[in-house]
Structure 1
Amino acid sequence: MPVSRLAAIVLLPASLLMGAAAPAQPLQVPGLLQQQQGNGSSSTEVLGSEQAFVLTPPAPSAIKTEGTRQLLQLHWRIEPGYYLYRDQLKLSDAQGQPLALNIPQGQTLTDAFFGTVQVFHDELRIEAALPQRSEQWPLQLQWQGCAHAGVCYPAQQQSISVQQLGQLASAEAASIDSAVEAIPISTSSPSWLQSLALPASVLIGPMALPTMALALFLAMLLSQWWARRQQLRLEQAVDALLMRSFLVGLLAARLAYVGQWWQEYLQPVTHSAASVLQIVDIRDGGWNLWAGLAAAAAWTLWRARRNTALRRATLQALAAGAFILIAAHALRNWVEPEKPAIPAITLVTASTQTVDLRSYQGQPLVINLWATWCPPCRREMPVLAQAQKEHPDIRFLWINQGEDAAAVMRYLQAMALPLPQVLLDPEQRASAHWQQRGLPSTYFYDAQGQLRGMRMGELSRASLAEQLTRIAPARPPAR
């Protein structure tokens, strides 16, 4: 078989299934490097938040005793030209309950982001009352600041654990010492079965590709290699029959998926007949593996019904590829990996309110990571917005990755999204938490805060509806 033909046969399945992978764009990291001043003719360097606001690491020497209370002294060094908000200084325990802070009065400032506020320059020292119960640890500290140049940063967070503070020096701290010794420290590691679970995507160079697309590529390679060997041995057209069976299987896998979710495909987001073309738009990753394998085997049996050798050789080649596909499907869907919880990070909404992602726990949650420069993100946005209207019991969040507020707001002027549900994440902490390097990426949490599914790549109404069934009970049909 010519090399060019073999390459075309091998690349065809990957190109078909990776229609869902191709839209996944690699994340850019547009940092805050310059801020325009005056008429825009000059610019100045803008520090990152970690350099602008430096928190002295908490240590045992920072703890003092007042009666029966233990107070932790916290100190920030603030670079010239930057300031911290007084109202954004918060400390909470492991249950999310706020802890008392002793904060001095700051300077009054009219801020374009939060209005009239009190801020601190140069340095800040505060005191925090330490909790007495072991279940309240570790603590979560939050602060937020801006630059006078006009750049505002998202809220920063740091966890404070007993291990960081070490042994308290004072004798009066014995009660806390005995309590915190009982804090369970998780040393569990994934089980051997969890370690076999496949991720949703694999990074190859600058591209993030769905794992099942790569599995299909490998399956076709193995099947074609085995078919070529059998063809040389038997002098039968094994590879030709294998290719036809494979194409029949792909067609059946798609049609079965469309049939399963036909209402979503025939109920367009907009009142346009062109939306029906989503049936042939395979970028949504909608395939039924079992229907495809059954159709490919049935086609082989029928076409080679009078040729036992050809039938046996082709079925062997199909079985080799099917083994890889079934194994990958099982490790991707049936083996539960360690599921990242809803991250304890605080972001700023497009309506300039701070919000902790953990505050949404208690209801089904869909978290979409996106950017304005990402074409599939823009294409799927109407689908997600429409789903939010149809499912008021599910909360949708759109977390922008790596862009400044001005770029996001310009885009939102043409997109009817609820501003409190659009969050800004210029430092891409959400992507770091989920270890995701492709956009768009969508995560589906149930009301108990358990991750039930994720999708890397563009969503259609059908593929979104499939994921929503995992986190919310089905609604009765409308009468």
Structure 2
Amino acid sequence: MRFTPLAASALIPALLLTAAVARAQPLQVPGLAAPSADQAEVLSAEQAFVLQRPLLSINDGDTRKLALAWNIAPGYYLYRDQIRITDAQGLSLGPEVPVGESLTDPFFGRVQVFHQRLEVQARLPEHSSQWPLQVHWQGCAHLGVCYQPQQATVTALQLGLDQPPAPADRAEPDRPLLPTLGRWLALPPSLSLGPLVLPTMALATLLALFVGQWWAAGRQRRSGQPVEAVLLQAAAAGLIAARLAYVARWWQQYLAELPSGLLQIMDIRDGGWNLWAGLLAALLWTLWFGRHSRGLRRSALQALAAAALILVAAKALLTLPEPQKTALPNMAFVNAAAQTVDLRSHAGQPLVINLWASWCPPCRREMPALAQAQKEHPEIRFVWINQGEDAAAVMRYLQTMALPPEQVLLDPQQRAGQHWQQRGLPSTFFYDARGRLQGMRMGELSRASLAEQLRLLESPPTR
């Protein structure tokens, strides 16, 4: 069939669906035995660590602060290093945490912990845009069970504070106010068609070819000239030119993996296309073959214009930002080194977030390219968030793929996938140093397509 290569490229991501959602339960420490039947029943995190109602504390000099307290059940303890209080932008409010008791913990090593009760204070935000606040904590039981990080929200109303609206002249510069129409028109990087998840530009290309051929068929019936053949030849020339222009732009990345790099040039699953080079080649082909017939040239150019309009419109709509989804999410996970990592703790440096699973072949194929990019770009932080698998499965995979364990996060409940509304794996998100989403790629990344996305993060953040 004439569209087989393109259709195959578009259908590849449909095979990359996520694993089933794992049951929510306390995270068992790797290597530790579960409590035996004759041991006391393990409490839930909410029962073991009870956060009291937040209060407003007034110190000497009329300084107002947020006061928090936890009641800790006997046989359980909270980690001092895991107590964090952040504002709505993810910035720390500098909580005043007392010195804890020293403990050699099987999960985190030598740490400071608190038993029975913990009281903490923190400064209040200066601006209403910093509310609500997020409180984070994590604890374990002496039985050898460690819980996932917990969090709670504190609002100004809970403290009896008035929360005036933010002044109009203090609108956040990194959240542009788009017209309502623009928000509705913004296209996502991928679209779901039943069980299939397909790249938006692949669907736009198929639609453009269909509309162009429909237009050409109508003109051909009227004029009797081979308009369809000219358009098909122009489309083929455009696709070849779009791919070759992309390869020429990123030739160093392809040559860096010889001899497999030569095969990757033909592997269009990485989504490497140069739209403008393809449209220019298609235009020149149409003009050349229609040079002897004005009617043929005009009809073919009209069909080509209809197809090009769809492609350019789709490309433009894909670049429209989605204000409600551009900010880096306020999420915390446990990593493979048994540490709690908050995504917003990486504020101030570019961040690449990769959603993956060990059962996903494209995820495994692209992993060496991502690992190598982390070595070549230490100024960019790469984070791999596993979707839907338990810690044992992730640890087994890390024995075959050398990834920094502190950068591999566990997400058995697939909260990250739900936030980004991604059902296809792998999915990779590119955030700049200010925590703004600059690019997204669903599907396998090659060294070239990864380098293309990383270029979006090279420019320093504007103030």
Would the TM-score normalized by the shorter structure come out above 0.5? Answer: yes
> Which piece of structure 1 moves more, 29-38 or 461-470?
29-38
Tell me if 1:223 matches 2:212.
Answer: yes
Alpha-carbon deviations, 1:275-314, whole Å to 9, x = none? Answer: 3211101111000111111212222232333333333222
Show the counterpart of 2:300: 314
Counterpart among 330, 336, 344 of residue 321 in structure 2: 336
Whichever residue aligns with residue 335 of structure 2, its letter is T
Show the counterpart of 1:143: 137
Counterpart among 178, 191, 195 of residue 179 in structure 2: 191
Counterpart among 428, 453, 460 of residue 442 in structure 1: 428
Counterpart among 338, 348, 360 of residue 362 in structure 1: 348
Deviation, structure 1 residue 52: 7.2
Counterpart among 151, 154, 157 of residue 151 in structure 2: 157
The verdict on how the C-alpha distance between 1:433 and 1:209 changes in structure 2, with shifts beyond 3 A counting, is same
Alpha-carbon deviations, 1:318-363, whole Å to 9, x = none? Answer: 1111100001111213x33325222222222211122222222222
Tell me if 1:97 matches 2:112.
Answer: no
- Cα distance in 2 between the residues matched to 1:33 and 1:98: 31
Alpha-carbon deviations, 1:209-236, whole Å to 9, x = none? Answer: 2111111121122112212222333333
Show the counterpart of 1:173: none
Show the counterpart of 2:126: 134
Alpha-carbon deviations, 1:129-173, whole Å to 9, x = none? Answer: 36344336432211335689976543132321214x16x3xxxxx
Show the counterpart of 2:192: 203
2:322 is paired with a residue whose SS is coil
Show the counterpart of 1:15: 8
Counterpart among 63, 69, 74 of residue 55 in structure 2: 63
- Cα distance in 2 between the residues matched to 1:433 and 1:48: 29
Whichever residue aligns with residue 144 of structure 1, its letter is Q
- Percent of residue pairs identical: 51
Tell me if 1:468 matches 2:460.
Answer: no
- Cα distance in 2 between the residues matched to 1:438 and 1:313: 40
Show the counterpart of 1:171: none
Alpha-carbon deviations, 1:259-280, whole Å to 9, x = none? Answer: 1111111111xxx523321110
Deviation, structure 1 residue 85: 3.4
Show the counterpart of 1:85: 78
Show the counterpart of 1:25: 17
Show the counterpart of 1:265: 254
- Cα distance in 2 between the residues matched to 1:47 and 1:439: 35
Tell me if 1:254 matches 2:246.
Answer: no
Instruction: Assess if the C-alpha contact under 8 Å between 1:154 and 1:425 holds in 2.
Output: no
- Cα distance in 2 between the residues matched to 1:211 and 1:117: 48
Show the counterpart of 1:114: 108
1:439 is paired with a residue whose SS is coil
Instruction: Assess if the C-alpha contact under 8 Å between 2:134 and 2:151 holds in 1.
Output: yes
Alpha-carbon deviations, 1:18-40, whole Å to 9, x = none? Answer: 55x3464345423357999989x
The verdict on how the C-alpha distance between 1:309 and 1:17 changes in structure 2, with shifts beyond 3 A counting, is farther
Instruction: Assess if the C-alpha contact under 8 Å between 2:18 and 2:388 holds in 1.
Output: no
2:333 is paired with a residue whose SS is strand
- Cα distance in 2 between the residues matched to 1:454 and 1:33: 31
The verdict on how the C-alpha distance between 1:147 and 1:311 changes in structure 2, with shifts beyond 3 A counting, is farther
The verdict on how the C-alpha distance between 1:303 and 1:26 changes in structure 2, with shifts beyond 3 A counting, is farther
| Contiguous gaps of at least 5 residues in structure 1 | 1-7, 169-176, 475-479
Whichever residue aligns with residue 87 of structure 1, its letter is R
Instruction: Assess if the C-alpha contact under 8 Å between 2:93 and 2:125 holds in 1.
Output: no
- Cα distance in 2 between the residues matched to 1:71 and 1:313: 72
> Which piece of structure 1 moves more, 210-219 or 132-141?
132-141
Show the counterpart of 1:415: 401
The verdict on how the C-alpha distance between 1:51 and 1:128 changes in structure 2, with shifts beyond 3 A counting, is closer
Show the counterpart of 1:5: none
TM-score, normalised by the number of residues in structure 2: 0.80
Instruction: Assess if the C-alpha contact under 8 Å between 1:284 and 1:460 holds in 2.
Output: yes
Aligned residue pairs total: 437
Instruction: Assess if the C-alpha contact under 8 Å between 2:357 and 2:386 holds in 1.
Output: yes
- Cα distance in 2 between the residues matched to 1:359 and 1:156: 16
Whichever residue aligns with residue 96 of structure 2, its letter is A
> Which piece of structure 1 moves more, 10-19 or 295-304?
10-19
The verdict on how the C-alpha distance between 1:146 and 1:23 changes in structure 2, with shifts beyond 3 A counting, is farther
Tell me if 1:299 matches 2:291.
Answer: no
2:456 is paired with a residue whose SS is coil
Tell me if 1:325 matches 2:311.
Answer: yes
1:313 is paired with a residue whose SS is helix
1:287 is paired with a residue whose SS is coil
Show the counterpart of 1:236: 225
Root-mean-square deviation (Å) = 3.9
Instruction: Assess if the C-alpha contact under 8 Å between 1:344 and 1:356 holds in 2.
Output: yes
- Cα distance in 2 between the residues matched to 1:426 and 1:212: 31
1:25 is paired with a residue whose SS is coil
Matches for 1:397-436 after TM superposition, within 5 Å: 397-436=383-422
1:464 is paired with a residue whose SS is helix
Instruction: Assess if the C-alpha contact under 8 Å between 1:23 and 1:457 holds in 2.
Output: no
